[in-house]
Structure 1
Amino acid sequence: MSTGGLITITGGDTPPLTTGREAAREAAERELAKPVYHQDDPGLLQRALDRFWQWLGDFFDRASGATPGGGVGLFVIVLLVILAVAALWWRLGTPRRAARSAAALFDEGPRSAADHRAAAEAHAAAGRWNEAVQERMRAVVRSLEERTLLDPRPGRTADEAAAEAARSLPAHAEDLRAAARTFDDVTYGGRTADPATYARLRALDLTLDRTKPLLTETTP
């Protein structure tokens, strides 16, 4: 029985027990705070995920309400943004390659074309195709330097070597550019070479070694 803000509990011959409302509330809170009542409560991570998904759902609800066409219009806009980012990524390449593609072709001291060819063949025999491609491209450039078709120049990149060599070997300009791209992709772009990739570069090296240059005013 409740009287004047008090809770009175009576039973049998026991004197009535009177408890104030505030004390009863605190007692109930202490009781409900016991671990036995919270065994099945979600963990901290689950609560955080629930709040995140709720926020995300509310965000898309508001966005679809403000976008012409509702949810369909919002989906189209998101799809167009994804396609635009993918197109830029494909056109510009990975940031890693863009940042490092200007590195020098030769990272060690001077070695002959024969040395680079021998190293390339050793890597190929061991199945290390990335290293084999790198050494074969260095052999191509060093061979052109030894034939005085290129000036020996420290710091030259693969792209620069291909562009300069194409002036005296115009029939192989496209193959030289492709070889330079392969070198950059393998060395800086995170690509993986295979036997076919190495075979193409090896064939180019042997072909250039037998090709007579086109004599021009700039050819040494």
Structure 2
Amino acid sequence: MTATALALALVRGLALDDIGRDEARRRAVEELVKPEYQQESLIERAFRLFQEFIDGLFDSAPGGVPGGVLALLAVLLVVVALAALLLWQARKATGARRAAAESLFGPKARTAEEHRAEAERLAGESRWAEAVQERLRAIARDLEDRAIVAPQAGRTADELAAEAGRELPALAPALTAAARLFDDVTYGQAPGTPEGYRSVAELDAGVAAARPAALAATARPS
């Protein structure tokens, strides 16, 4: 039972009958414990209450009763407030997802070695999801420091894998898999595993030893 649903039921009860506050609360609680309320979403419940209120208003109130107009206005205000709340929550969730997608390196600026050290510490504590995150950050920082990819604010793990994969094609599949694992443990609440961390650590070592395709081509003897 939500506060919004209770408020709507209270308004509905008060509008249909000239009753006291305690009686209105009792009727609202009785209304909200009905089985159909337990199966509805918040939006479905609000619109059903609103529709029932309108039906009851026209059925029970004599023509021209000012109280009916006031009750209608009260319900409209509740519905508008509910819609505004839902819109705000949706925008907040979208903003949170966007902020998360833009935080590949996390809140602190660290070197590749610092990310690796932190990853090893977390792995030693069996905090595999966080260890995977830090190890991929080490890879990203190393790629930027070596100018294999250009520094870019807000880069996602998938974007990093795509850009680095073009420069290190032999490692492209492993980069894609590591980016997917990073997304799973960061946004999908996957727990992480020792095997997953080991695969990212091996990729880190491979990236550190790799040379971009363009440099490798120029270094070949003609």
- Structure 1 length-normalised TM: 0.53
CA–CA distance in structure 2, aligned partners of residues 99 and 117 of structure 1: 26
Residue 147 of structure 2 corresponds to: 148
Structure 1 residue 123 corresponds to structure 2 residue 122:
yes
Describe the shift of the 1:155–1:48 C-alpha distance in structure 2 as closer, same or farther (beyond 3 A): closer
Per-residue deviation at 1:167? Answer: 1.1
Quote the offset at 1:154 in angstroms: 1.8
Deviation of the 1:99 alpha carbon: 4.3
- Residue number in structure 1 paired with 2:218: none
Aligned pairs for 1:1-220 within 5 A = 48=34, 99=97, 102-215=101-214
d(CA) in 2 for partners of 1:118 and 1:111? Answer: 10
Aligned residue pairs, count: 132
CA contact 1:133–1:183 (8 Å) conserved in 2: yes
Shift of 1:110: 2.3
Could you tell me how far apart the structure 2 residues matched to 1:104 and 1:163 are? 17
C-alpha distance in 1 between matches for 2:204 and 2:173: 14
Query: Partner amino acid for 1:105?
Result: L
Contact 1:104–1:158 (8 Å) recurs in 2: no
User: Helix, strand or coil: the match of 1:105?
Assistant: coil
- CA drift of 1:111 comes to 1.2
| CA RMSD, Structure 1 to Structure 2 (Å) | 3.0
- Give the partner amino acid of 2:171: H
Asked if 1 retains the 8 angstrom alpha-carbon contact of 2:101 and 2:154, the reply is: no
| Residue 106 of structure 1, CA deviation | 1.4
Q: Percent identity?
A: 47
Match of 1:86 in 2: none
Unaligned runs of 5+ in 1: 1-43, 53-94
Residue 54 of structure 2 corresponds to: none
Alpha-carbon distance in 2 for matches of 1:157, 1:137: 11
**For the pair shown, which has the larger CA radius of gyration, 1 or 2?**
1
Query: Matched residue of 2:155: which SS?
Result: coil
Whether the 8 Å CA contact 2:165–2:175 is kept in 1: the answer is yes
Give distance in 1, aligned partners of 2:149 and 2:102: 18
Could you list the per-position Cα deviations for residues 52-104 of structure 1 after superposition, in whole angstroms to 9, with x for gaps in the alignment? 9xxxxxxxxxxxxxxxxxxxxxxxxxxxxxxxxxxxxxxxxxx99x9457333
What code does the residue aligned with 2:195 have?
A
- 1:208 Cα shift? 1.1
Q: CA deviation at 1:150?
A: 1.1
- For structure 1, which segment, 151-160 or 100-109, has the greater mean C-alpha deviation from structure 2 after superposition? 100-109
Letter paired with 2:111: S
Q: Which amino acid aligns with 2:108?
A: G
1:205 corresponds to which letter in structure 2? D
Per residue, is there more helix in 1 or in 2?
2
1:213: Cα distance to partner?
1.3
CA-CA distance at 1:107 after TM superposition: 2.1
Unaligned runs of 5+ in 2: 1-29, 38-92, 216-222
Question: What is the identity, as a one-letter code, of the residue corresponding to 2:102?
Answer: A
State the one-letter code of the partner of 1:112.
T
1:206 CA displacement = 0.4
Q: Secondary structure at the match of 2:116?
A: helix
Spell out, residue by residue over 1:129-173, the C-alpha distance to the aligned partner (whole angstroms, 9 max, x if none). 111000000001101111110112221111111111011101111
Question: How far, CA to CA, are the matches of 2:130 and 2:114 in structure 1?
Answer: 14
